[in-house]
Amino acid sequence: MIRVFKLLFKINFKNILAKDFFLQFMKNFNPSKYICPNCKAKHPDWKKYCQYNRYLINYENESVVYNLISVTRYQCSSCGRTHAILPELIVPYRSYTFLFILQVIKDYFSKSLTVSTICEKYNISVSTLYTWKSLFLLQKKLWLGLLKDIYISSIQFLESLLFTHYPQEFFLMTAISFLQSYTKTSKYNPP
């Protein structure tokens, strides 16, 4: 999979529509700028291989929105492996968007709503909320280290996360996307 970063922190989060963001991203995507995550070929002749449908769930205009998108896979001419193209809005192996999960976690840590109200608002189960919370805290600690993790609150970290390169830097450091729990992603190599 080819992960593309540096887009989210440039946009207005209040007005983001996940499907529009994804479609605009794919319209402007140029595979020739990327090396193959598998064989490290610098300028493979990327060929469109196939597309697959997946859901992209986001929280927009005070409601949960379910979008069906088509993710394109490209094949590397050097090694023959195929790679899905995913902007940072998409968390690999999850239907929920990166921003959706952050909104849920922010509501949880701000303590402005009860757990049951949060789950009802976002149409998720309590176990999903606690799974995301655990993953967030684990990856926050992994990113910041033990000392900084003690001094930086979860809310402070959440707010800084959206306006920095943390997601890309975390991916470079760990070879997984922030809030991704499944770990079979190829290591990112910047163009």
- Domain segments of the chain as ranges: 2-174
Whether 164 shows a pLDDT value over 70: the answer reads no
Higher per-residue confidence, 181 vs 14? 181
Residue 14: both structure tokens together: 């209040």
Is the pLDDT at 44 greater than 80, yes or no? Answer: yes
Q: How far apart are CA 191 and CA 181, in angstroms?
A: 25
Rounded to two decimals, the pTM is 0.79
Q: How many angstroms separate the CA atoms of 58 and 45, rounded? A: 34
pLDDT in tens, 84-129: 988 888 888 889 998 899 899 999 999 989 999 999 999 999 999 9
* Per-residue DSSP letter, 91: P
Selected residue with higher pLDDT from 104 and 15: 104
d(CA 42, CA 163): 30
Distance CA 20, CA 38 (A): 30
